[in-house]
Amino acid sequence: MDDANKSQARFKLGRQSSKAPERRHSGDDIGSEGLESSVRLMYLANDGDLDGINELLDSGSDVNFRDIDDRTALHVAACQGLTDIVELLIRRGAEVDPKDRWGSTPLADALYYKNHDVVKLLEKHGAKLPMAPMHVQNVREVPEYEINPSELDFSNSVRITKGTFRVALWRGTHVAVKTLGEEVLADDNKVKAFHDELTLLQKIRHPNVVQFLGAVTQSTPMMIVTEYLPRGDLRAYLKRRGALKPITAVKFALDIARGMNYLHEHKPEAIVHRDLEPSNILRDDSGHLKVADFGVSKLLEVAKTVKEDNLVDSDTSWRYVAPEVYKNEEYDTKVDVFSFGLILQEMIEGCLPLHPMPEKEVPKAYVANQRPQFKASSRVYVHGLKELIEECWDKEPHRRPTFGQIIVRLESIHSRLASERRWEDCGHTCFPKLRALFRRNQTNPGSRSSRLIND
């Protein structure tokens, strides 16, 4: 737009752009008096002053005036949900799809603030959401995994686990849907992360990894659709149960290790999860665990190592992040082994790693080689379980075992624990029967069993 129609003033009152980095609502009522007429239009729109807007526009003010953030009066009215103001501005010649400095339109703002009547009104006048960043022109180029969003029924939708996951009904089956908000469309890094996650999910097929079903990429909002596991995540399970019995913890650990080994042994490139934590591990109907949420995962190509462009993502739990990631160093599959060791110890101890230390301080403690304490009885950490955990969170990544090695050791531990349980169960059932048999023999020395024993 021509800078002549753009002011150096910034409209700060009320709801701000849906894509602005900070959307603080100003409570300062500075009024519209004394402002230049063009900026005053935005304040009148915020106040819902129909007469004032008509008077201002009749005096020659530009209905499409933009402030320093490229916002218009229509943006303001859409944010506030003022349908009568939106209708008036459009009737007086307002553009229906102007983009502010962050790429947000009045329709995107109305959607963000859930002003549904304004959404319908803007769409009636031809407003459209920006085209999906992954949209293709040729129908032959539409991905095989593409799902028509009209097939997803969110009528009884509820949020699940963390982030933007919801339950939906798809072709008669409950599925989990991860939605990218409208604010993501203008963020190239988040769009790339979404594309990378799709690339990974397409390649993955394993009983201990959540199953990818499809995606919505040709329209907005974009979505990833995966199998729905109604029993929730490991974080919620541990919160309910607390410390687990060693045999249960080892069984769960084997599920995680098998899923992670599959990812790390993936050909031609290994897959590093890099966000392995209890809330990203889900339980299926049979009680087995599946690794989920590949939002920050990486493919290890020729270099065999990765380095973050930015420090740890805000959605990542810092309690499970390996020190080399926090220090912004190159890393490989061993970052997942570090996280795994923490999870295994948490299942046995029943408390978060380094609890109650503030989460932001935890990675600094890991860098200083501080690790969670082993508070449970030594009888719990049997058959080399403690030593395995300590190797997993070793400060030197190359000294940490691979998941293939971890599986071998966990299978051995699980076998010995299962054998001990069988003997323990036998002690509760077999020995009382033997005692009863001996008592019968003592009272009836002429019985056949007594003769056999005496012989």
**Residues involved in catalysis:** 275
The Cα-based distances of 174 to 180, 211, 237, 282 in angstroms read: 19, 13, 21, 15
- List residues bridging with 176 in a β-sheet: 167, 226
Q: What separation, in Å, do the N-terminal and C-terminal C-alpha atoms of the chain show?
A: 108
Residue 154: Cβ within 10 Å count:
13
Strand partners, 139: none
* 152: Cα separation from own chain's centroid: 20
Orientation of helix 403-443 relative to helix 246-264, angle to 10°:
150
β-pairing verdict for 281-283 and 270-272: unpaired
Distance separating alpha carbons of residues 76 and 92, to the nearest angstrom: 16
